[in-house]
Amino acid sequence: MIFNPHKLGVHKVLQHIPLNGLFDAPYKRALQKAVNIADLRTIAKARSHKMVFDYLDAGADDEISLRRGKDAYSELEMHFKILSGLKPPLDLSTKIFGMDVNLPFFGCPTAGNRMFHWEGEAAAAKASEKFGTLYGLSSLATTGIEEIGSIHSGPKVFQLYVWKDRELVRDVISLAKEGGFGALALTVDFTWYGNRERDIRNDFSIPPKYSVPQMMEAIRKPAWTYDFLSHEPYTYACINKEVPADSLAAFVNSQIAPEFDWNDAEWLLGEWNGPAAPKGVCRPEDAKKAVEIGFSSIWVSNHGARQLETSPATIDVLPSIREAVGPDVEVIMDGGVQRGTDIAKALALGADSVGVGKPYLWGLAAGGEAGVSKAYDILKVELDRAMGLLGTGTVDQLKKEGPSLIKRRGASIRDYPDRYALDRGYGGGIV
């Protein structure tokens, strides 16, 4: 480390010199012109330090699961109905964790939001409040539970890792309850830290190590750099505000508990005593066991393809998990979502709601709260259009009729004999 500008108090000087607007002006103009989530990613990449953008953008190892997770949606066709007599506006409202929301999608809890933009989790919470949907806060957030509770008055879910220190777990979930969080998501696919090779190549650290390569990159990205240098250094605000966020991987590896098992999950449910989901389920038998021990919901996820390489695309395993737990257990799904049509497909194939991660974080990195709101607005408009064109006027109707509307590309009567026989008027049962 050559020097640490925050320890020298540089931010206390720069916060009185309002140059952020100057540096961010071109990105604000680009944000206004953005028409889809891919545009937000392009703006985020242009504005962000390479180390930070790659941390957000990357998957594990060769990023095969990352690509497959997105491509899986393109293999699903939407077999729309006609002359459905729908009258706008459509009803996108539903329930998540038993709580009323205006949208069937929400921003997943994600770590360290202030590394992308100084507004951090507060920006995401404000956008969620604006759109009337669930907000998810990570236990590795850089904004505290109390602050988020004062910003977002609506439904909230708190995400928890399987920490070794049970007293830490008790303290955190107690704070979450006091902060108005009505549901808990236990991340169960993070018992080892995934191999994210872009981070290794970039010598990723939180905060930057101020090496020559990182400082050169900072000079090339003045909007992000001035943002970072003119604000207080961030910490893991939900765990200990006094501990600087020096290294995400080192902290997680020191606290994560690989030995955490089903008995520990039962203990946690007893401590929480409220709506809860295991986040990171991809096998039907695990989903069934989770329900048996007391989880109220199932969260299908592969951690954004950032953990086990070649783990399956979540949209591919979703139908089998829905079948395993039956129609009455809430199923949440995230992974690979880039379009409103992706959300529609997930709802149709068994999800009660859909979490998005990268889309809103690209928005955050592109322009703070305005960028997150842009991401929500894009997805809302796309979902509304998809439902209208499919011929479904409500989320409940989409979920009910979904299996007849979504089919795998190239599927034939040999693949789905009963469904295709009924669809084609053959009377059923023809092979």
pLDDT digits (tens, 9 = 90+) for 62-91: 999 999 999 999 999 999 999 999 999 999
Q: Is the pLDDT of residue 6 over 90?
A: no
Task: Report residue 401's pLDDT band, with 50, 70 and 90 as the boundaries.
Answer: very high
Does the pLDDT of residue 411 top 70, yes or no?
A: no
Domains and CATH numbers, the chain: 25-406 (3.20.20.70)
| Whether the predicted pLDDT of 233 surpasses 90 | no
**Catalytic position from the list 49, 117, 152, 303:** 303
Q: Could you list the residues known to form a binding site for glyoxylate, using ranges.
A: 55, 161, 196, 303, 306
The whole-angstrom separation of Cα 62 and Cα 223 is 30
Whole-structure pTM value: 0.91
Q: pLDDT band for 246, please (50, 70, 90 cuts).
A: low
Cα–Cα distance between 341 and 327 in angstroms, integer? 22
Tell whether the model's pLDDT for residue 247 goes beyond 60.
no
Q: How many CA atoms lie within 13 A of 177 on its CB side?
A: 11
pLDDT, residue 426, reads 27
The binding site for FMN comprises 109-111, 138, 159, 187, 279, 301
79 is catalytic: no
Helices (H), 273-351: 284-293, 314-325, 340-348
- Beta carbons within 10 angstroms of residue 195's beta carbon: 15
Q: Which residues are annotated as a binding site?
A: 55, 109-111, 138, 159, 161, 187, 196, 279, 301, 303, 306
Cis link prior to 89 (omega < 30° from 0)?
yes
Beta bridge partners, 334, equal 355
Tell whether the model's pLDDT for residue 252 goes beyond 70.
no
The two structure tokens encoding residue 45:
């990449």
* Summary count for the chain: helices (H), strands (E): 19, 12
- The per-residue pLDDT for 243 is 53
Least confident of 79-88, 164-173, 180-189: 164-173
Residue 307: exposure state from Cβ atoms within 10 A (0-12, 13-18, ≥19): buried
